[in-house]
Structure 1
Amino acid sequence: MANYAFYAALRHYLATRTVDAAIDLKKVTRVADNFIIKDHQLFYTGPSRQYMRLVILSDEQKQTVLKECHNKPGTGKHCGVRATRDRVIAGYFWSTLKKDVEEWVRCCHQCQLSNTSKKVSPVPPPIKVTEPWDVVGIDVIGPLRETPRNHQYVLTVTDLFTKWVIAEPLQTSSASEVAPALVSKLYMFGMVRKIISDRSREFVNEALNIKHAVSSAYCPQTNDQDEWTKQKMKCALRRYVSEAQNDWDVHLQAIVYGINTEKQESTQYSPYFLLFHR
């Protein structure tokens, strides 16, 4: 309630340059330059004034924002504390934001159900890439719970330069279904110089006029970035399937959107920004 009174006074000050006698004038004026009013709403801009973040006041508004940025498959996909915090900070502001995000993620039931222990593997040497869509990693995830459209697998294609992910639901993991799906996805951005995959017959390259570097069958993380995509996608699907049951394929592209708009630790940018520069 104290925060609400302060921000109400701040909003009144920005509109009228006056404050109620019960409000500390110095406290209001000290931060006033970091806020603006637009369309009758209060926004935090910070000293740089380059970005506007909507000031959230009520607990109901906070819950709505946290659900949007953590629980939904497209914008949230049950990502961790850091990714959820980055999404919230990108558009919203309140004084206890970081603490509330940590608490929300910690108490998330779906995240608790899907969290599993992770074995630490040696980090392989990075694959050298020089530009977008030079080298991609591919994999097939599944079998998953069968959907009404008979989908049980997901083909993933990851650009190793931008970390951009493409995904396509499949009914089977057979070469006859994987190959045309892969070619159709590569046509979106043009054919690549090299494909990285595990040693699997799904990824036959006779139909593809490109090099196919086969990862070691005994070291699935040789293609480290694609293994990261696979684990990220499996985690998001696992968390969402438990909520949406057997319609995960309907929401697959929303999950992919969430991955592509999430800032990556390795690049400090989102794949979307690196690919489209915005």
Structure 2
Amino acid sequence: MKVMGETHEGICGAHQGGRKMCWLIRRYGYFWPTMMKDCINYSKGCEACQRHGPIQQAPSVPMNPVVKPWPFRGWEMDLIGKIYPASSQQHCFIIVATDYFTKWVEAKPIKTTTSQEIITFIEEQIIQRFGIPESITTDRGSSFISRDMLDMAETFKFKLLQSTPYYAQAN
């Protein structure tokens, strides 16, 4: 106990962890069969280390399960804009899609928010690059719930889901 006490908190001690303390004691020429276990228990029981050591905090809320178990299977989409002033090419909206699993973001500036622009974005930026998703979640914007979008979802056989409007946490 005296050797562990001097090594851990004595004149040359720096309140190191059990493994480091065991290594130092062996370096000083001491050995006993249960030295590693004893050093770990000693350092865990040090009141100063517990009081002033780094605080390990558990999350304050339960962890949320992964929404999709594979990359690029589920996307969420939304529009940003209208942006003032418009860009030099007159783009004043941005369409953004985020993969639920990897948090990969695809974004593209667009001039209008027609359903045809959104269909083109889905085909070029999502389907052609990452494959057909299982689902795309959007808010209830008129361009996202149009007949053309529903037909496209039916053609490619993916689910078009809508979240609660004006409630960003749902999407």
Return the TM-score normalized by structure 2: 0.54
* Superposed counterparts of 1:228-239, under 5 Å: none
Distance 2:82 2:119 in 1: 18
1:168 and 2:108 matched: yes
Amino acid at match of 2:121: A
* Superposed counterparts of 1:49-128, under 5 Å: 128=67
1:221 and 2:169 matched: yes
Amino acid at match of 1:207: M
Give aligned-pair identity as a percent.
28
Secondary structure of the corresponding residue to residue 188 of structure 1: helix
Tell me the equivalent position of 2:158.
210
Amino acid at match of 1:191: I
Tell me the equivalent position of 2:118.
178
Tell me the equivalent position of 2:93.
153
Tell me the equivalent position of 2:52.
none
Give yes or no for contact 2:76–2:100 (8 Å, CA) kept in 1: yes
1:83-105 Cα deviation digits (max 9, x unpaired): xxxxxxxxxxxxxxxxxxxxxxx
Give 5+ residue unaligned stretches, structure 2. 1-63
1:197 and 2:138 matched: yes
1:219 Cα offset (Å): 2.4
Secondary structure of the corresponding residue to residue 95 of structure 2: strand
Distance 1:142 1:160 in 2: 22
Q: CA RMSD in A?
A: 2.4
1:200 Cα offset (Å): 1.3
Secondary structure of the corresponding residue to residue 131 of structure 2: coil
Distance 2:66 2:102 in 1: 13
Give every structure 1 segment of 4 or more consecutive aligned residues whose post-TM-superposition deviation is greater than 6 Å. Answer: none
The structure with more radius of gyration: 2
Distance 1:143 1:126 in 2: 34
Distance 1:126 1:171 in 2: 37
1:202-226 Cα deviation digits (max 9, x unpaired): 2233213310111012523201xxx
Name the structure where helix makes up a greater proportion of residues: 1
Distance 1:153 1:212 in 2: 22
Between 1 and 2, higher relative CO (CA 8 Å, sep ≥ 6) is seen in 1
Amino acid at match of 2:75: V
Aligned residues: 102
